[in-house]
Structure 1
Amino acid sequence: MAFKVDDAEYTIPRILQFGFDATTNATSPLTDQQKKNWKEIPVRKDRRTDLLIAGAGLSGCAAAIAAARRGIAVTIVESTHMVGGQATAAGVSAFDVTFFYDRLLHNYGLWGELVRKIQDIYDYELMRPINVGHYRNTSIMPNVVVVERVLSEMLKASGVTVLRNTTIQGVIRAGKRIVGLHTQAGTIMASQTIDATEDGSLLALGGIPHRISNGYSDGIEEKNITSPKRAIQDITYTAVIRMYPEGVPDALRVSEKPAGYDKYVLTFRKVYPKAGVLDKHMQKIGPLGFAGYRAAPDIASKNMQTGSQYQQVTRTCLNYYNDMTSNAYYLTDSDYRERFEASAKMKTISIIYYLQNELGVPWSVATDEGFADGPVLPLNPHLPDCYKNIEQHMPLIPYIRESRRLIGLSTLTGKTISRPRKRSEAAWVTDSVAVGTYHPDLHGGRTNAHLESSLMESEADKPKGWVEGPFPIPVGALIPAQIDGFIAAEKNISCSRIAAGAIRLHPTVVAIGEAGGVLASLAICNKVEPREVPTAAVQAELARGGAIVSQLEVEGATRSSPNFAEINLAVARNRVGWSVFRPENSEPVIETDLDVAMEQGKWTYNYCRKWLDAIKEKLEGRV
C-alpha cells in the first residue's frame, strides 16, 4: 500500500476518521484519580527498592513500566505533579514523529502501546479526532491531560511506586557505585539507579563524568568548554492556548506590555501575521496559520477539525519562534536558571499579548490541561504579579532540548547517525537496543566553534537539508564508562551535541527508556552490573516484550507473528543475511529468509537462556 506521507489530507488506516456530521462526546478526559495523584505529597521515610528512577518523563516512565512488568520493584521520583516530562509537564504533547516510518514507530514496544491507549480515548471515549496538527491528517496531537492520564494508568497497572512532588537532593555513592538518592521524601536505596531527568541532573549530583556544551566534566569540575557562549540547544517555555469565542475572560487578558516585547515584536509580525505564516517552511495563509503547527484537540469545545483543516483550529501549543538561546549556565547555576526561565516565560506571554492586542484575536491560555492543579502553583518569583493569572496555567517546566550527557562505554555521534539521504538508514551496529529516526535538529550552537572537536565533529557532520531515517542506539551509550549501579536514559545518554539533536524526540526517548528498564532488570535479576549483561540478552528480552530491535520492520514478521522475537533478534544481530526493500512512496522493510532467521534467533535465545530465565524466576517469585 502506498503511503502518501506528503499528502496533507491522507489519513493512515490506524487513525479513525469521523464523518462530516459527527459530534464529539464533549466531556473532560481528566479523571478523579488524576486530581488525587497531583495533590499527593509523599510521606518522608526511608525506602528500599530494586530500581530507582529519577524523573518521570517519557523515558523514565518507559523504563519503570518495562522493569516492573519483569518483576522488578520500581520507585520513580518526579519533582512536578505530572508524569510524562516533555509531553506533559513541558507542554509538548504534539508528538514529534517521522511520519514516513509509521509502522516502525507505532506498531512496536511501549511507544506503540502508549499511542494505542491514547488513541482509544479519543476514538471511543471523547469521540473526536486526534490528528489535528502539523497541517496534516497523519499527525498525533493529544492533550497534555490525556497523555498524563494514560501514563499514570500504565504505571499503576505495572505496580510502579510513583513519588510525585518530590525533589532530589543528592546522590548516594559507595566508592564508584551509585546506591541511592536523598530526596524530599527521604532516603531511597536501590540496586540500580536510572537518570531519566530532563536535564541530566544526577550526572552532576553523583559526580559522574559527563559532557556539557562542547566540553566535559570529570565529575568534579568542568573542562575544555571552548564554545564562546558555552552553547547548548535552546529551551522553550511553551503554553497551551485556545480561542475564547465569547471573548477572552478578563483574568486571562494580557493588558500590560511584557518586558522585552519591543525586541520580539518585529519577529512576531513576520511569523504571526494577519495574512498568515508566510515563511518558506510553513506558508499557511490566514490569521490562524500559526495555530495549525502544534494544534491540539480543543476539549473545551466541540471542534472536530483535522490537521489539514488548520484554519479551523481553536487550541494549540505555542512552540513556534519562542525559543530562548541557552548556555551551559542554565544547567549548572540554579539562580541563573530561575531568572532565565522567567525571561523565557515572558517571551511566550509576549506572543499572547501580541495575539490579543495587535492581531485582535481572542486567544489566551487554556485552563483545563492541569498545570494549575498541583499542590502549589507553578509561579516564578521573577515574574511581575500582573501575569500570574496567565503563568499559573503555563507548563510546569520548559522544553529542554539538551542536557548533560553521560560519558559512556560508547558514544553516539553525528557520524554514527549519518544517513546518506532523506529516508535512508544509518550504518547498522549489532549492539543496538533502540532505534531513532529523527533528523539532527540542533536548536542553537550549530557552528564549529560550538561543536565537539574532541569527538572529531564539525559542521560537516550536520546535514544541511532535512535527513531522516533509522539509526541505531548502542547499549554502551546507556552505561557509564567508570561508574556502576547506574544507567542513563532520556536525553542523558552518551552522545555528541549533534546526535543530541536527533535523540530528544518522543518515540526515541521512550525506546531508550524501555531499553534501560530491560537492561536494569537483567542486571538486577542476575546480580551483576549493567556493563556485564550481554547485549544479545537485552535485545532478546526487548523483542520478547514486543519491541523492535531491528532497523526496520521485517517483511512477514510483524509483532503478531508467532516467531517475531526470534526473527527480529536474528536480523538485529546479523545472524542472517538481510536487505532493505523500498516500495515506491512507501515505508521500507527488511527482507530476509524467515526460516533461517527463525532458527538463528532460536539459537541466540538459547545462548541467552540463563540471563532470561532469571527474569522468569523473578516474575514467578513475585506471583
Structure 2
Amino acid sequence: MSRDVEVLTDLLVVGGGLGGVSAALTAARLGRRVVLTEETDWLGGQLTAQAVPSDEHPWIETEHISAGYRDLRNRIRDYYRRNYPLRPEAAANPTLNPGLGNVSRLCHEPRVGVAVIDELLMPYISAGRIRVLYENVPVAAETDGDRITSVTLESRRTGVRTTVSARLVADATELGDLLELAGVEHVVGAESQDETGERYAAPVADPTDQQAITWCFPLEYRPGEDHVIDRPASYDHWKTHVDPFWPGPQLSWEKIDIHTMSGRVNHIFEGDTDAVRLPDLWHFRRIRARSQFDPALVDSDISLVNWPNTDYWEAPLVGADVDAQAREHALRRCKELSLSYLYWMQTEAPRHDDGHGYPGLRLRPDLTGTEDGLAKHVYVRESRRIKARFTVLEQHVSVTDRPAGAGSEVFRDAVGVGHYNIDLHPSTAGINYVNLECYPFQIPLGALVPVRVRNLLPANKNIGTTHITNGCYRLHPVEWSIGEAVGALAAFCLDRDTEPHAVADSTSLTGELQGLLTTTLGIPVAWPDEIRRTRPSQAGKGATPVLAPPLPRVPTA
C-alpha cells in the first residue's frame, strides 16, 4: 500500500512550465539539488501542455537572448533535423521554422518541446540533482513566521502525498497557487489608477478583471473526408450569445482587430492552404507546413487553434469568490467553447469558396497526448501576482508613457531582459483588448522579492507586475528568463548562506548575482542602448505593427 513520503531538498520548484523548468535547470547547473513538480505529465507549460507556439520578439535570433533559451530553440530545430523527413533546403536552413507560422520564427509541435525539455533535464535527473514529480499538485503549505517550511503535494494518479522541505521555494504554478496556500501577500485582477498611476489601469480596483483563458487544439485539414465531432452541449449558446464588447457571436469569423480596435473578418483559409504566410487564421499558428517535409510521408499541414474567438472570458479562475467548483465549471465551459468553435467550423462556417463547413478539419489528439484532442492544460494568461518590493508599471515600459526617445526604464538591479507588447485579451470583467507598444525591457530583481515572505520566489506570471504590465511579462522567452533569474538567485543565496531580501538590499551582492548571470550563465541583464530605445514597429522585419489607441478601459456591459 502506498504511503505518504517526506523529502528534503535545496530548492523546491512547484510548477513545470517554462519558468519552472528554467529555474530548476539553472539551479542544478550551479550545483544545487532541486525537486520540480508538474500537475500534468508533460513539462513545458505554455509551450507544450498548453500547446501555444512561442510568442517572441524581433531580436530573438540575435545574441541578445540568454544562452539557455537559445539552446532550447536550437535543440528544437536539431530535433526536427534528426528525426523528421525534412526537405534538404529546410534541413539546411539555420533558422528552420517547421510550421512557417506567422506568429513566431519557430512554430513547432508540442511533443517536440516536451522531448527537448526532457533532453535538457536528463543529465541532472540522472545525477540526482533534479527530481521531477509529475501529476502532482500543491495542497498545503506550512509556514513559520515569514518563511515557508514545507509544501505538501498530492499525486493526481495515486493520491500519495509528498511533503517537501526546502530552504527556498519557487512558485512556478500557472495560477500562483502557493501564494494562496502559504498566505503570501498577492494581487488578483486589476489594480486601480489611484494605486498605480497607469493610464490604462482600471478606474476602480477589480479582482474579477482577469484575462481570458483559452483551451487550444491542433488541427489538420483533409478535404473530402468527414471528421465532424459530436455537437457540444452548449453549442447553441455560443452560436447565439453576443457580448457587448464583441462584434458578434464567438462562433463566427468576426473578431476585434487589435491594431485598429474595430471589428474585422478573418477566415480560416484564404485560398491555397499551402501558400506561405497568408493573413488568415490557418497560417497564424501553423505548427507544421507540409511544404518543408517529404511529401511521401507528410501530406498535410497542422495548425494550432489559439484564435480570438476561442478566448473564454465568462468567469475568472481565481479570487476570493472562486471556489474549486466554480473553477471547474469555468474550465468545462472553456473546453465547450473550443469544441463548439471546431464543430461550427466543420459544419456551418462560411467557406472561402462560398460553401459552408469544413468537415475535413481533423483533431490530432496524438499531438496533445489527450483523448479529446484539446491541450492537456488550459492556456493561462494571468495569475495571482506577489506584492513585491518593486512593481513594474506601464510607465516603465510603454512607448506612449515614456519620454520621447528615452526607451524603457533602466533597472540597476536587472536580472534578465525581455520584450513583448502589453497584450491584454478581453477580460472576465467585460473589458476589451488593451494592446500597447513597449520598448525592450528588463526584469528587475525587486519584482522577484515578496514584501514579507523571505524564502518564496515567483517563477512564472506571478512576479511583481500589474494587471497591465503582466501583459508583456507573460510570454515564453520572458517566463524562461524569469525562471533562470530565480534559479540563479536561489543557488547564489544557498552558496552564501543568505536570502533574496539581503541580496536585493545590497548593491555589492546584486552586482555579484548579475556577474553570475552574465559571465557564468550567459544571461544578459541589459539591452544595448540602441535596442532599448528602439520601437519594435521601427525594428524591421518581424517587428510589431504600429498600434492604434486601445478602447477606453471601462466595462461595456
Fold shared, TM-score > 0.5 on shorter chain = yes
1:402 Cα deviation from its structure 2 partner: 0.6
Aligned partners of 2:392 and 2:522: how far apart in 1?
21
Aligned match for 2:331, one of 325, 338, 341: 341
Aligned counterparts, 1:208-607, within 5 A = 208-214=184-190, 226-227=204-205, 230-244=208-222, 247-248=225-226, 253-255=229-231, 258-259=234-235, 260-263=237-240, 266-271=249-254, 285-286=270-271, 289-297=280-288, 303-304=291-292, 314-320=301-307, 321-325=309-313, 328=316, 330-331=318-319, 332-358=322-348, 359-372=357-370, 391=372, 393-420=373-400, 425-445=407-427, 466-533=436-503, 534-552=509-527
Go from structure 1 to structure 2 and tell me whether the alpha carbon gap of 1:416 and 1:468 turns closer, same or farther (over 3 Å shift).
closer
Write the deviation string for residues 530-567 of structure 1: whole angstroms up to 9, x where unpaired: 11122212211111234333432599xxxxxxxxxxxx
1:446 Cα deviation from its structure 2 partner: 10
Which structure has more helix as a fraction of its residues?
1
1:210 Cα deviation from its structure 2 partner: 0.4
Counterpart check, 1:117 vs 2:88: no
Go from structure 1 to structure 2 and tell me whether the alpha carbon gap of 1:156 and 1:367 turns closer, same or farther (over 3 Å shift).
same
Aligned partners of 1:81 and 1:134: how far apart in 2?
28
Aligned partners of 1:316 and 1:242: how far apart in 2?
6
Aligned partners of 1:395 and 1:225: how far apart in 2?
36
Aligned partners of 1:82 and 1:62: how far apart in 2?
15
Aligned partners of 1:370 and 1:319: how far apart in 2?
14
Aligned partners of 1:241 and 1:58: how far apart in 2?
24
1:412 Cα deviation from its structure 2 partner: 1.0
> Does the CA-based 8 Å contact 1:232-1:326 persist in structure 2?
no
Partner of residue 277, structure 2: none
Give TM-score scaled by structure 1 length: 0.68
Partner of residue 62, structure 2: 103
* Counterpart secondary structure, 1:511: helix
1:68 Cα deviation from its structure 2 partner: 0.2
Go from structure 1 to structure 2 and tell me whether the alpha carbon gap of 1:209 and 1:228 turns closer, same or farther (over 3 Å shift).
closer
> Does the CA-based 8 Å contact 2:101-2:287 persist in structure 1?
no
- 1:67 maps to amino acid: A
Go from structure 1 to structure 2 and tell me whether the alpha carbon gap of 1:256 and 1:234 turns closer, same or farther (over 3 Å shift).
closer
- 1:403 maps to amino acid: S
Aligned partners of 1:440 and 1:150: how far apart in 2?
29
1:364 Cα deviation from its structure 2 partner: 2.4
Write the deviation string for residues 335-362 of structure 1: whole angstroms up to 9, x where unpaired: 1110011111111101110121122341
Aligned match for 1:181, one of 143, 146, 151: 151
Go from structure 1 to structure 2 and tell me whether the alpha carbon gap of 1:255 and 1:305 turns closer, same or farther (over 3 Å shift).
farther
1:214 Cα deviation from its structure 2 partner: 2.7
> Does the CA-based 8 Å contact 2:149-2:165 persist in structure 1?
yes
Go from structure 1 to structure 2 and tell me whether the alpha carbon gap of 1:143 and 1:446 turns closer, same or farther (over 3 Å shift).
same
Aligned partners of 1:585 and 1:485: how far apart in 2?
40
* Counterpart secondary structure, 1:338: helix
1:270 Cα deviation from its structure 2 partner: 2.7
> Does the CA-based 8 Å contact 2:458-2:486 persist in structure 1?
yes
Go from structure 1 to structure 2 and tell me whether the alpha carbon gap of 1:203 and 1:553 turns closer, same or farther (over 3 Å shift).
same
Partner of residue 386, structure 1: none
1:475 Cα deviation from its structure 2 partner: 0.4
Aligned counterparts, 1:26-41, within 5 A = none
Counterpart check, 1:61 vs 2:61: no
- 2:395 maps to amino acid: K
> Does the CA-based 8 Å contact 1:233-1:327 persist in structure 2?
no
> Does the CA-based 8 Å contact 1:258-1:349 persist in structure 2?
no
Give TM-score scaled by structure 2 length: 0.76
Partner of residue 351, structure 2: none
Write the deviation string for residues 271-327 of structure 1: whole angstroms up to 9, x where unpaired: 49xxxxx976968723853211111126xxx55279xxxxx9721111102111155
Aligned length: 472
1:581 Cα deviation from its structure 2 partner: 13
1:328 Cα deviation from its structure 2 partner: 4.6
1:165 Cα deviation from its structure 2 partner: 1.0
Aligned partners of 1:104 and 1:339: how far apart in 2?
45
Aligned partners of 1:585 and 1:176: how far apart in 2?
45
Go from structure 1 to structure 2 and tell me whether the alpha carbon gap of 1:510 and 1:423 turns closer, same or farther (over 3 Å shift).
farther
> Does the CA-based 8 Å contact 1:470-1:551 persist in structure 2?
no
Aligned partners of 2:382 and 2:153: how far apart in 1?
24
1:410 Cα deviation from its structure 2 partner: 0.8
- 1:140 maps to amino acid: L
* Counterpart secondary structure, 1:171: strand
Partner of residue 195, structure 2: none
- 2:487 maps to amino acid: G
Aligned partners of 1:466 and 1:210: how far apart in 2?
25
Aligned partners of 2:477 and 2:381: how far apart in 1?
15
Go from structure 1 to structure 2 and tell me whether the alpha carbon gap of 1:228 and 1:56 turns closer, same or farther (over 3 Å shift).
closer
Partner of residue 195, structure 1: 171
Write the deviation string for residues 409-445 of structure 1: whole angstroms up to 9, x where unpaired: 1111111122358998312121111112100001135
> Does the CA-based 8 Å contact 2:489-2:513 persist in structure 1?
yes
> Does the CA-based 8 Å contact 2:210-2:428 persist in structure 1?
no
> Does the CA-based 8 Å contact 2:282-2:303 persist in structure 1?
yes
> Does the CA-based 8 Å contact 1:232-1:402 persist in structure 2?
yes
Aligned partners of 1:313 and 1:279: how far apart in 2?
31
Aligned partners of 1:328 and 1:346: how far apart in 2?
16
Structure 1 portions without partners, runs of 5+: 1-41, 217-223, 273-277, 307-311, 373-388, 451-458, 556-570, 572-577, 588-623
- Of 181-190 and 337-346, more deviation after overlay is shown by 181-190
> Does the CA-based 8 Å contact 1:214-1:225 persist in structure 2?
no
Aligned partners of 2:31 and 2:80: how far apart in 1?
31
Go from structure 1 to structure 2 and tell me whether the alpha carbon gap of 1:305 and 1:419 turns closer, same or farther (over 3 Å shift).
farther
> Does the CA-based 8 Å contact 1:238-1:395 persist in structure 2?
yes
Aligned partners of 2:18 and 2:187: how far apart in 1?
22
Aligned partners of 1:352 and 1:423: how far apart in 2?
45
Write the deviation string for residues 31-87 of structure 1: whole angstroms up to 9, x where unpaired: xxxxxxxxxxx9742111000000000000000000000100000111111101111
Q: Percent identity among equivalent residues?
A: 25
1:205 Cα deviation from its structure 2 partner: 0.3
Aligned-residue RMSD, C-alpha:
3.6
Partner of residue 112, structure 2: 146
Partner of residue 122, structure 2: 156
Aligned partners of 1:480 and 1:243: how far apart in 2?
48
Q: Higher RCO, 1 or 2 (CA under 8 Å, sep at least 6)?
A: 2
